[in-house]
Amino acid sequence: MSESPKDKNDATDNKVRLPKSFIILGGGSILVMAAGVVYTIFFYLSLPNHRDLDKSGQAVRHVPLPVPPTSFFPSGQGPKVDSFASENFRLKVQSLKKTLTGFDVVMVLEARSNGYDGSGLSFAVAGTPRWVDSGRNSGEGAASLSTGTLFKSGVPGEFTIHFSRMPSAPVFDLYLGLVGTRGIKGDRFLTHFRNIPTPRATS
């Protein structure tokens, strides 16, 4: 017995039809998420292994320091965080100074121990120091910290980070990577200081 035209129309009407725009947006969202996962995997796989660098004698300052994705830029809200503490040392943003070529961030490092061998602590800069503000601006700097500088327990020492570009927002976040070269050799620290007032805001 053959179906009548009416039965065919009823069967077609009972099917759920998704709008084309929904299918396009859904497919695009899946592709974006997949691309983000692939990018993250390849980014971290591309980072050099610090053990291989130590064996080959390469300078650890060439290890890249990741920065936050654009969706996680500082908002400028929340408390100021100007210090970082670990078991062996404390690092603090002491002050900011305007210069003719930008501004300097004066850092104070105080060792809490003399390291595993008791001789003191020394560090190298891992990657490039960076600031990022809520206006999606960023700048790269250079730190005056030398691997030959030895920090003894209870004796604070200073070094500066020079930036040639000034943040445009009233506050910014500072990212600084350190790696121990003596006392705590091979230990790595990615420090993040939040809502640091720009020099113009404090002058």
| The predicted structure's pLDDT at residue 21 | 76
Confidence of residue 61 (pLDDT cuts 50, 70, 90): very low
Number of C-alpha atoms within 13 angstroms, CB side, residue 72?
Answer: 5
User: Is the Cα dihedral 88, 146, 140, 171 positive or negative?
Assistant: positive
| The predicted structure's pLDDT at residue 17 | 72
Give tens-digit pLDDT for 167-181: 988 999 999 999 999
Q: How many residues does the chain have?
A: 203
Give tens-digit pLDDT for 74-105: 777 888 999 999 999 999 999 999 999 899 99
Residue 69 neighbours by CB distance under 10 Å: 10
Give tens-digit pLDDT for 117-150: 888 999 999 888 999 888 878 889 999 998 889 9
The yes-or-no verdict on residue 73 having pLDDT over 70 is no
Provide the percentage of residues in the chain whose pLDDT is more than 70.
74
| The predicted structure's pLDDT at residue 63 | 40
The yes-or-no verdict on residue 203 having pLDDT over 50 is no
| The predicted structure's pLDDT at residue 16 | 64
- CA atoms of 89 and 111, how far apart (whole Å): 4
| The predicted structure's pLDDT at residue 64 | 42
| The predicted structure's pLDDT at residue 96 | 95
The yes-or-no verdict on residue 55 having pLDDT over 70 is no
| The predicted structure's pLDDT at residue 114 | 92
Q: Which residue has the tokens 């980072």?
A: 47
| The predicted structure's pLDDT at residue 5 | 54
8 Å CB contact between 108 and 94: yes
